[in-house]
Amino acid sequence: MSATEDALRILSWNVNGLRACGKKGFRRWLDRSDAFLVGVQEVRAKEEQLEERIARPKGWWTDFQAARRKGYSGVGLYARRAPDELATRLGSPSLDAEGRLQLARFGRLVVANVYFPNGSGKGRDNSRVPFKLRFYRTLFDELARLRRGGKRILVMGDFNTAHREIDLARPRDNKDTSGFLPKERAELDRWIRSGWVDTFRRFEPEPGHYTWWSQRMGVRARNIGWRIDYVLASKGALPFVQHAFHQPDVKGSDHCPIGVDVTGRIVG
């Protein structure tokens, strides 16, 4: 679906290192995406470290936000036109140091491209869960302010949380693993109760649909995965969402691209 007056395609992809993904077909995928807007997460590079064909492809406006720590985190946006406004901070030095957020406004539409923290910590000890939840809650409050202002909001990216048992292949084996802890899932419950809608589940209620797979041999081929990448729609944005989907056949990362098709009237 092309970026016309009547329809817009919006895509999200955790690329697990944009330089590496760039060598595995990212630019070809981007050129064929038929998208109006593409958000990428886990860029793991500053803009000046990216090849020109990846950082500034012809026909695209781009923006990249890097973490202070080298080779870590980071988000990027590709759009067919510059947004009317772009914000990249939550107002907390510790939360903003990791390059995890872009809020791009196109008319009344705001697209949040977000790389939510992983809570596992260096030793898989779940030590980063408090930081992760603080990021969730701070962003929630900022988005609530935008909703009150009449904005139509899509929040897309790697949420690093599987919401329900249907969203991972082996829930029993991962009940103590960050990404499926009760407190993490409860935070996503809070978002849903407040009116955010998981667009993929709006169209696809069945199990077996994942967006991330371990890179261990054969795991992706056997579809032993997690669904941790989402596009959430506010109540104001939802009526404009026509379709939500995954692209599991697209390789180049341990995640696959996801997206929504929306009517062009969403920006009006």
CB atoms within 10 A of CB 151: 18
Cα radius of gyration rounded to whole Å, the chain: 17
Tokens of 3: 């970026």
Angle at 4 between CA 249 and CA 150, to 5 degrees: 95
Tokens of 262: 């929306």
CB atoms within 10 A of CB 94: 10
- The helix or strand, by DSSP H or E, that contains position 113, with its residue range, turns out to be strand 109-115
Respond yes or no: is residue 31 known to be catalytic. no
Helix axes 129-148, 182-193, angle to 10 degrees: 0
Asked if 76 and 63 count as a contact pair (C-beta separation under 8 A), the reply is yes
Pick the catalytic residue from 158, 167, 198, 229: 158
DSSP sequence for 161-229: ---SGGGBS-TGGGTTSTTS-HHHHHHHHHHHHTT-EEHHHHH---S---SEE--STTTTTTT-EE--E
Residues in a beta bridge with 102:
113
User: Residue 267 corresponds to which amino acid?
Assistant: V
Residues in a beta bridge with 112:
103, 155
Give the residue numbers marked as catalytic: 158
